[in-house]
Structure 1
Amino acid sequence: MTLSLAVGRPTLADHVVPRGLVTDIALVAGGAALTGLLAQVAIPLWPVPITGQTLAVLLVGSTLGASRGALAMLAYAVAGVAGIPWFSDTGHGIGVLLGSSGGYIVGFVLAAALTGWLAQRQWDRKFLHAAVTFLAGSGVVFLVGLPWLAVVTGADLQQTLAWGLWPFVPGGIVKALIAAAIIPAVWQGVRRLDAAKGRDLS
């Protein structure tokens, strides 16, 4: 039996590289790094900036699966708290996690777990199912981030939605659709390669 951080059904990553502890650690670290990289693609906005992080969360969760996707987001959060300056334009450290953006970062862990869980049930292989998967993952981020924002800022419901939801809806939809276009397309490529090798991806 191969020791692995992955739990449950195989995902896209498992059809590209074999499961194994060393491979899984590398994938988790890579997922955290991708999130940190896309976090630097940001539109400054107070109290929560618009960033590319959510796109990374969706891609990482769906490709790695529930357990490794969640671990990648946890690693991203822990590394940012430890001092790596990759929390978008808000910097790094525990203050960011405890601030107005903190709930969104915590929500990344749950969003990656959800998108990964759905991907392990093949919801990432067709555009429509993938779009639903990624929109749901984006929704989870808001479910955690908005109450957190309200508590930290003391804002009422209307102000919380104005600060933490409405500005992000168009971009969130676009990012979900981008991910829904990318992942099924990659699956098609992997299927073609595996068909040429006589492997079955069902």
Structure 2
Amino acid sequence: MSGAPEQPAPADAEAVLPAPAARSAVTTDVALVATFAAFIAVCAILPGIPTPSGVPITLQTFAVILAGLVLGARRGTLAVLLYLAVGLAGLPVFAGGTGGTAVLAGPSVGYLLAFPFAAALAGFLVGALRRVRPSWRFPAREVVGLFVAGLLASLLTIHPLGIAGLMWRLDLSLGEAFLVDARYLPGDVAKNVCAAIVAAAVFRAFPELARSRR
């Protein structure tokens, strides 16, 4: 027995179907970027260790590198840029509970401006490592890879620009600024170790986050 002929699906049906998934991805990106921007702010305003240079030792670097490691280059950079935009707009989310464009006249200007580049480079390096070794057989190797990516990002962006900012705002020579910046290196290594451990734990708890890094 022959039934009524099936009606062909509308020509644009396939184009309509992916829309909810696309909206969901955008919503997830926005939520992750906002969450990490808030996390960076919390780490910045926690009481830091004062130094003679006027640039305190805080957990900002830990949060910035973690954003790049976990979110990837693009989303990690956006999280840091959102944090900086909120702080420069006047909200007290910088170290010491400060905010506004006045921080650009302080000795920490180079470090602040380097943060987006650090997150971007950390995310890029982890992405490159994952393309070379898609799955890590041993968790310790994953932590080491994440640590190396974070530390390289910090050494190649935060410290050089931080030194430049110290020279600019404190009228120091290159050697003097280098010695001031060297005080932050031991803590920076420790913070990158913590960032690598936390990022590896996040990837194991949420494996889809590791696959969707961008």
TM-score bin, normalised by smaller chain: 0.7 to 0.9
Structure 1: gaps of 5 or more residues = 5-17, 195-200
SS state at 1:37 partner: helix
When the two structures are superposed, what TM-score results if normalisation uses the length of structure 2? 0.76
| Deviation (angstroms), 1:25 | 1.6
What are the residue-to-residue correspondences of 1:1-202 with 2, within 5 Å?
20-41=25-46, 42-45=48-51, 46-89=53-96, 91-123=98-130, 126-139=142-155, 140-163=157-180, 165-191=181-207
Q: Give the aligned length.
A: 181
Change over 3 Å in CA distance of 1:161–1:19 after alignment to 2: farther
Deviations 1:89-120 (A, max 9, x none): 16111010232111111111000001111222
SS state at 2:106 partner: coil
| Deviation (angstroms), 1:190 | 3.5
CA RMSD for the aligned pairs? Answer: 2.6
Structure 2: gaps of 5 or more residues = 1-17, 137-141
Structure showing greater Rg:
2
Deviations 1:137-167 (A, max 9, x none): 221111211112211111012221232x111
When the two structures are superposed, what TM-score results if normalisation uses the length of structure 1? 0.80
Give 2:108's aligned amino acid. S
- Distance in 2, matches of 1:156 and 1:32, equals 34
| Deviation (angstroms), 1:180 | 1.5
- Distance in 2, matches of 1:74 and 1:116, equals 15
